[in-house]
């Protein structure tokens, strides 16, 4: 298994900076763009139904070129131990992102088995959905608050939909957290203002079509997210 020396370092959350995660990257050019723009996290998707899906071999080739200091995140959905074993053995990862129906118990198991910080995605549509956050804050290293997919949706995330960000206003967080769901260069500043988020995640919001990243949109998104901090 490939591990970074101090995995806890990548989940620190500054009170002043806005960290950006660009998810669903599939080629070296887009990774270079994201890194040069100032992204803190690079996300690889391992979910066959997603247009952003990459193989383990492709992810390995891409991950070894990511500069030190940029966290490499693997997004999986209800993955088995056998898949995660192969993934962590072959790809130099810094974090695992669980974006399915994983229970708090499963999060605990994965975190213990692989010794990597775990991001748990939690879907939110209404205030009632916020109740599950506490259970996952107790076991995950970082919470990703995403828009809850509509019933029957094929993808658990990356659908380009948002939720009422005011639901998160003023919430006291036990663990570092990240905001996702329908974010773009046009609305990320507003989302940061309403939620107080210091970490944001984008995928479809920087694409010209599903699975195809736009390098200009990546740069614009990172700039817009970080510009909000500088204007405070």
Confidence of residue 6 (pLDDT cuts 50, 70, 90): low
Active-site residue (options: 17, 23, 57, 94):
23
> How many residues does the structure list for the chain?
232
Active-site residue (options: 30, 94, 146, 201):
146
Q: Is 10 domain-assigned? A: no
Q: Is 23 tagged catalytic?
A: yes
What are the contacts of 104-110 at 24+ separation with CB within 8 A? 104/135, 104/136, 104/138, 104/139, 107/136, 107/139, 107/140, 108/139, 110/84
Region 23-44 average pLDDT: 97
Supply the mean pLDDT for the chain: 89
Q: Is 2 domain-assigned? A: no
pLDDT greater than 90 at residue 3: no
Q: Is 12 domain-assigned? A: no
User: Could you tell me the residue range of the domain that residue 158 belongs to?
Assistant: 17-230
Q: Is 221 domain-assigned? A: yes
Q: Is 198 domain-assigned? A: yes
Does the pTM surpass 0.85? The reply is yes
How far is 204 from 86, CA to CA, in rounded Å? Answer: 27
The rounded percent of the chain whose pLDDT value lies above 70 is: 85
| DSSP per position, 193-204 | HHH--SEEEESG
Q: Is 172 domain-assigned? A: yes
Q: Is 63 domain-assigned? A: yes
Q: Is 110 domain-assigned? A: yes
With beta carbons less than 8 A apart as the criterion, state whether 147 and 159 touch.
yes
The 10s digit of each residue's pLDDT in 98-147 is: 999 999 999 999 999 999 999 999 999 899 999 999 999 999 999 999 98
What's the total number of domains in the chain? 1
Q: Is 17 tagged catalytic?
A: no
What's the pLDDT at 134?
Answer: 95
**Domain containing 105 — which CATH number?**
3.20.20.70
| DSSP per position, 6-39 | -GGGGG---SS--EEEEE---SHHHHHHHHHHT-
The 10s digit of each residue's pLDDT in 53-69 is: 999 999 999 999 999 99
Tokens of 114: 């692989």
The 10s digit of each residue's pLDDT in 206-225 is: 999 999 999 999 999 999 99
């Amino acid at each position: 298994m490939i591990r970074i020396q101090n995995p806890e370092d990548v989940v620190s959350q500054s009170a002043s900076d806005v960290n950006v995660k660009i998810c669903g990257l599939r080629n070296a050019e887009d990774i270079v763009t994201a890194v040069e723009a100032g992204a803190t996290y690079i996300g690889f998707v391992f979910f066959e139904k997603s247009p952003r899906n990459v193989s383990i071999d492709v992810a390995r080739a891409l991950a070894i070129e990511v500069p030190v200091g940029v966290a490499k995140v693997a997004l999986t959905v209800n993955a088995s131990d056998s898949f995660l074993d192969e993934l962590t053995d072959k790809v130099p990862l810094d974090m695992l992102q669980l974006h399915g129906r994983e229970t708090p118990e499963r999060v605990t198991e994965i975190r213990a088995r692989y010794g990597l910080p775990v991001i748990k995605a939690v879907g939110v549509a209404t205030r009632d959905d916020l109740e599950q956050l506490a259970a996952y804050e107790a076991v995950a290293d970082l919470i990703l608050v995403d828009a809850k997919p509509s019933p029957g949706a094929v993808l658990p995330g990356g659908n380009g939909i948002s939720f009422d960000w005011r639901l998160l206003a003023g919430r006291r967080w036990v663990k570092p957290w990240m905001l996702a769901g329908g974010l773009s260069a046009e609305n990320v500043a507003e989302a940061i203002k309403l939620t107080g988020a210091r970490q944001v995640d984008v995928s479809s919001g920087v694409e010209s079509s599903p699975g195809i990243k736009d390098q200009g949109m990546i740069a614009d998104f990172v700039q817009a997210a970080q510009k909000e901090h500088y204007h405070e």
